[in-house]
Each structure stands twice: as C-alpha cells, then as structure tokens.
Amino acid sequence: MTKRSGRVGTGGGVAIALLIAFPAAAQTGQSASGYKAPVISDTGRLKGPRQPIFFRHDIHAGQDQIPCLYCHSTVTISSEPGIPAVQTCFGCHQMIGGSTPSHQAEIKKVREAWADKRPPEWTRVHALPGFVRFPHQRHIKILGTESCITCHGDVRSMPQVYQVATLKMGWCVNCHVQHSVSRDCTVCHY
C-alpha cells in the first residue's frame, strides 16, 4: 500500500475564513441533508484500506453535505485532485469535538496532528501504474463536477473509501469510445 506524505497547513490564515464561510449545519453537527450516517461499531468489516484516522465521507460529504471540491480543491485545474491539509480539517475541528466518544477519540487525532505538525499518512486507495497518465481536470471539464460518482461510486455513502471501478485499460477505453475521445496509445501512455 502506498502512503502519501500529507501536509499540515496551506500557509495562510484560511482556517478562520473557512469556518465562517461554512454552513452552520456543518459546524453544529446537525444534518444538513436529512441523511443520517449510521453508527458503526465494527470497523473491521468495512471495505477499503484502513486509514490512520477514521475519516468518514458518509458523515462529511453525505450527512453534512460538504462539497467534494471543498477538500479536493484542485480536481478541476490539475491532474491531481489534492488531499486536504490538516489545516482544512482543523478549521472545523478546532470547534467541533464530536458528539460521541468514538468521534471524539478520532477527532482528537486530528487535533494532535495539527498540534504536532504531523499530517496523517493517508493510504492511497486508487493508484494507476506509473506509465499511465490520468488528467482529472480534462475529465471534469467534459463530464462535470458531479461526475466523481461515475468513476468512484457513491463516495457520499462510504464510511471508508474503497475502489469501485476496475481502473483497467478496457474500462478507460470503453468510455473513450462512448465519448469519441482519442484512443491513441500515446494519449494515456508516456
């Protein structure tokens, strides 16, 4: 499993600004969507690699409806969507300590990561071989910012992210055929 080297901060005083900009619902922990993420007691049965902090997309992106681009902010402009710095997390978790003991225990890890300037080493879920090129921004431009679900499945309902598509060459080429995109070998291979 490959690890990422994460970041602590983005270098600016954005944390406070984000907190103000964000819907009150996300700050109070009340559901903005009406969807209530389930209580999970047995994390060992979840699909996907176990992460250093039990960060739940079903709570953040599902229940609290934080937009994908709030955290993966470079997906429309870069080949890499970006994994948020701890500063982005701390912008909310300076105030939000968690409503249950298990949430509190995991959020404590976020606060410690911030205090110790030691970002979590998230385990990568999706990884293409090095000889394949995949520019996110080109796809989002044509397929739209709501298209994540097409390739990643319904991440908003995932307590732990897992891979849904095969990411095999045939999968890529099928969609390129449907959209009349070039299938020259050099489009995807260096």
Candidates 85, 93, 94, 77; CA nearest to 10 is: 85
Residue 144 gets the label, from left (phi > 0), alpha (psi -120 to 50) or beta, of left
CB of 47 to ligand HEC, least distance (A): 12
- Binding status of residue 3 toward ligand HEC by CB under 6 A: no
- Binding status of residue 7 toward ligand HEC by CB under 6 A: no
- Binding status of residue 168 toward ligand HEC by CB under 6 A: yes
The only residue of 33, 43, 78, 145 in contact with ligand HEC, by rule CB under 6 A: 145
- Binding status of residue 99 toward ligand HEC by CB under 6 A: yes
- Binding status of residue 9 toward ligand HEC by CB under 6 A: no
Residue 65 gets the label, from left (phi > 0), alpha (psi -120 to 50) or beta, of left
- The Cα–Cα gap between 129 and 168 comes to 10
Side chain identity, residue 133 = R
CB of 128 to ligand HEC, least distance (A): 4
List % helix, strand, coil for the chain (3-state, nearest 5): 40, 0, 55
Q: Considering only residues 42 through 61, tell me which ones interact with ligand HEC, judged by CB under 6 A.
A: 51, 53-57, 59-61
- Binding status of residue 91 toward ligand HEC by CB under 6 A: yes
Binding mask 104-143 for ligand HEC (x = CB under 6 A): --xx--x-----------x-xxxxxx--xxxxx-xxxxxx
